[in-house]
Every structure is written in C-alpha cells, then in structure tokens.
C-alpha cells in the first residue's frame, strides 16, 4: 500500500532479529532499549510499568495523522492504521 512499517520496542537488537526471522516479518524492527524513541513520541507506560503499545500513522510530510493507544486490543491497531493509510492514499489520488 506504499506505507513503510517500523516496529519499535525496548527489546535488544538480537531479540528483534530472532523475532523477525521466526515470524518472517517484512518490516523493520527498531531497538529502543534506552526508551528515547518512546519518550520523544510521548508513549505512556501502562500501570506505570509496562511500555505502552501505540501505533502512529505518519504521512509523507512527517505529520502524525493518527494515533492508536491500546495495550490489549492488537487488532484495533491494525484495522485503524490500515483504514487511515487507505484514506491518505485516496487523498493523494
């Protein structure tokens, strides 16, 4: 769909490589062990302990167009982000 996907978590580079290989992921995983990326995007901690699970849709100009924040409803992240990507494509057409 012309979108670039980047997954970010606090896991190590080695852990990301193993996970991506095992699941045959077609996108980049970024290791954010020190939390700088999460902090710069304001990702909240769940219950003050667990890093939050947030999906951002960022357009080609670098503008955050949509945010999904849900620790438990993983399907919501995918469905919502996909809908926004489709909308952005329609705007460009």
Q: What is the pLDDT of residue 14?
A: 95
| Residue 58, domain member (yes or no) | yes
| Residue 1, domain member (yes or no) | no
Q: How far apart are CA 7 and CA 81, in angstroms?
A: 13
Residue at token pair 């919501």: 76
* Mean pLDDT of the 18-24 span: 94
Is pLDDT at 73 greater than 80 in this prediction?
yes
In this prediction, residue 48 has a pLDDT band, given cuts at 50, 70 and 90, of: confident
Q: Is residue 62 within 8 Å of residue 55, measured between CB atoms? A: no
Find the CATH number of the domain harbouring 29. Answer: 3.40.30.10
* Mean pLDDT of the 39-61 span: 85
| Residue 61, domain member (yes or no) | yes
Instruction: Read off the pTM.
Output: 0.77
* Mean pLDDT of the 42-62 span: 85
Give bridge partners of residue 2 from the DSSP assignment.
Answer: none
Q: How many domains does the chain fold into?
A: 1
Which residues form the domain of 11? 6-92
Share of the chain above pLDDT 90, in %: 38
> Residue 26 CB: number of other CB atoms within 10 A?
7
């Amino acid at each position: 769909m012309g979108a670039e996907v980047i997954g970010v978590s606090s896991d190590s580079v080695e852990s990301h490589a193993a996970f991506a290989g095992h699941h045959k992921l077609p996108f980049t995983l970024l290791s954010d062990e020190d939390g700088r990326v999460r902090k710069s995007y304001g990702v909240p901690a769940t219950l003050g302990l667990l890093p939050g699970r947030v999906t951002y849709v960022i357009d080609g100009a670098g503008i955050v167009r949509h945010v999904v924040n849900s620790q438990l409803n993983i399907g919501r992240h995918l469905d919502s982000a996909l809908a926004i990507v489709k909308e952005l494509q329609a705007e460009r057409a």
